[in-house]
Structure 1
């Protein structure tokens, strides 16, 4: 038993009656907006050694994703994005007119399940519009519960502050950016999404203000372009943190709304964290290209081991033959016969949207959905079976098994913190607030410390 598992057992064994961290968390500033109002009934523990290991594994896989345009398409980004299923409007809005790649910040969040032999990747969300930057608020809220606070102090537990990670990423990405110089940062949303996100962005602005950053929540329709740069609310902006996503760009008018921002960033008039080009590598279709057994020769043995260790079998939905566990099969027939072991996903969706679990879907409806997805922006992925962890039952002394989705941040080349969703529905195809998922956060265990007697 590792240190994190041992401490989790001790936490549950010594949990006093009446201790209800989920009730404490209900008073957290995180409650009520994009995160919902339901919380896990204890903190989740992760060993520092394991956090470093999973961060390094995600980083190595991300490195391979960044090489896909060169390996498969001779560096042609347009051909790469077209292969991912992106429509012309999104390709035009995302890439430079001359097709040259941008230097991209190393910012992403991997959503993972934990199987018996380690973490497995469900998807990798690239770029900046990532939920969980502010999750340390939940750690601090939990520390208001006396039992949690005493347990954390006794065992020397720590946690990662996502706001500090974000500031470090800004500095790593843009050497001229200095948080100590009181910069102005636009927290920039899409006009149609801004009302739903305004409260969340205002909280982010308050957290950044504690670090000397003047952050301005706004949407793209409020940006003014001048010869010296871009301005919002009368202030010249040093850095834009993009919160909108590629799926917001649907029409030529949408692309025209975005174009002046991209031009200003490419001319060096403002730092853009991150360009939409980051989302190319956050597409689930890009993971399918990594997983495609027909292109194994593009990767050396060590690189194939990186892919196989983290990524479950993932394929674009095509009416063709493919390989599964060394056997050549017709993909559509295989999908119909093995729906209990497969998930169908839209390649550019997020937040658990557009996910169809085969084991939750009648056979006819599943077959129809897979056929309708052929040649579209969809992937099939092997079902990952997470190992449940025990959590206290709210209001009682018992525990119940709960499965977790780990949202682990890639910050540069390593672990940048995590936030979690959990559910007692052990066969759930998606763990999200919309389907009853509970929000949680992680504390790090110093697994170099000897166990307490």
Structure 2
């Protein structure tokens, strides 16, 4: 062990080695001060121009996951959407009206859910998880085409070059799963399966003007056409900032400025009435719309309370129950009158107040770390107010606090410090689509690790 590394916490260094032996070795080497050449050039030739003005901080230290860890992520991606769907169907089976009220959908939507979601082969997800004693615990599922974290993946060649420039690592087999490439391969495959012989290969992306101004449309257009060319297919990407030019005719065909499109990706907020229309067209197999209402409900955080409720009721198979126990932190609706946890049966509000430091309070549908209260980072009065307010409706859950396996990383001033890490694992259909993560210096803020609250991103490579 190097001199500086020897003075640090062996357990945290062990977390790096648990990710992969190479990740641990590289971290030790960097901690010992050998990081002068580890800097990122956001102006480098070949990078998309939007990265030249990237708005979040990115760690100069990559994380290298092992093939075993990648396989673990891939298995989670394959199985989780269908498991969440089955849990919802079983939980609300006898009360479709309650289902409709919870997800703000028609009563009949529950009957459609299982058939539409199926095995999850069309769902786009990013699982936000933390590693606890080397095992993944999923904190939430972000569903739909507007999921971030893919942007910094374009930096991977710089990281591999930096690693191979260090002594003794020239021959490391370091790889990267391109999230953007995996995303568009999924789109291409799903269009053909969903629309069949009618497919044109045309995809409409509702995208922020920022990306169009920086030429990202040309970047992904070239990638998409390369993917299509591999199998001799045709098609193209179309871009619009607000979906004002989308039309849906009487037969449900979706067109954009006169051209038929097979897929609509919603990375910005479109006009309000277009989402239900596109959802209906998706159900009729006239368009692939991954942001349809039935897919989107899989991203509600209260689904984790649903999974634990059906698990406790014995409504899951042994394998399903094992998955819930292994991957999903204990969760419960705040609005439930009574819950049981750790052998203690109590009024839900009373239990939440008594176990503040062991729990997290979340709203089911929220983003960017909003409406998340980590008990141990709040005073008793703050916690009581939040819990009692949340108890007035069914939109909130309490969840077991999972203390992340900490990692060492440099701060903005170059100090080596402990950081809490939240991983984002992408799943496109049943295929692993790469990973990415965020770091927040430990014991700072309110414990929420989110870029909107000051976290820095880290790039994930594979060995």
Determine the structure 1 residue equivalent to 2:245. Answer: 222
* Equivalent position to 1:368, from 380, 385, 390: 385
* Equivalent position to 2:224, from 192, 211, 236: 211
The 1:196–1:357 alpha-carbon spacing in structure 2 relative to 1, beyond 3 Å, is: farther
- What is the Cα deviation at residue 373 of structure 1? 0.9
Moved more, 206-215 or 310-319: 206-215
Deviations 1:308-365 (A, max 9, x none): 1011111111151100112211111111122122111110112222212222222112
Determine the structure 2 residue equivalent to 1:53. Answer: 72
Contact map agreement 1:19 1:147 (CA 8 A) in 2 = no
Question: Root-mean-square deviation (CA), in Å?
Answer: 3.4
Quick check: 1:344 aligned with 2:361?
Answer: yes
Quick check: 1:332 aligned with 2:346?
Answer: no
- Where do 1:40-439 residues align within 5 Å? 40-74=59-93, 79-82=98-101, 85-87=102-104, 91-92=105-106, 95=109, 101-103=115-117, 105-143=122-160, 145=162, 154-176=171-193, 183-188=201-206, 194=208, 203=216, 206-212=219-225, 214-218=236-240, 219-226=242-249, 229-243=253-267, 254=272, 256-292=273-309, 295-318=312-335, 320-374=337-391, 375-393=393-411, 396=414, 399-426=416-443, 428-439=446-457
Unaligned stretches of 5+ residues in structure 2: 1-13, 226-234
Contact map agreement 1:343 1:382 (CA 8 A) in 2 = yes
Unaligned stretches of 5+ residues in structure 1: 446-453
The 1:412–1:258 alpha-carbon spacing in structure 2 relative to 1, beyond 3 Å, is: closer
CA distance in 1, matches of 2:202, 2:416: 47
CA distance in 2, matches of 1:108, 1:98: 20
Moved more, 374-383 or 60-69: 60-69
CA distance in 2, matches of 1:413, 1:261: 23
- What is the Cα deviation at residue 240 of structure 1? 1.1
* TM-score under structure 2 length normalisation: 0.80
CA distance in 1, matches of 2:41, 2:151: 17
CA distance in 2, matches of 1:26, 1:403: 29
CA distance in 2, matches of 1:149, 1:261: 51
- What is the Cα deviation at residue 242 of structure 1? 2.7
The 1:94–1:129 alpha-carbon spacing in structure 2 relative to 1, beyond 3 Å, is: farther
- What is the Cα deviation at residue 4 of structure 1? 4.4
Deviations 1:72-106 (A, max 9, x none): 33387664343xx334xxx1599599888524613
SS at match of 1:18: coil
Moved more, 224-233 or 110-119: 224-233
CA distance in 2, matches of 1:290, 1:272: 26
Count matched residues. Answer: 423
CA distance in 2, matches of 1:98, 1:409: 25
- What is the Cα deviation at residue 19 of structure 1? 2.1
The 1:151–1:273 alpha-carbon spacing in structure 2 relative to 1, beyond 3 Å, is: farther
* TM-score under structure 1 length normalisation: 0.82
Determine the structure 1 residue equivalent to 2:27. Answer: 12
The 1:345–1:26 alpha-carbon spacing in structure 2 relative to 1, beyond 3 Å, is: farther
CA distance in 2, matches of 1:415, 1:116: 23
CA distance in 2, matches of 1:95, 1:199: 39
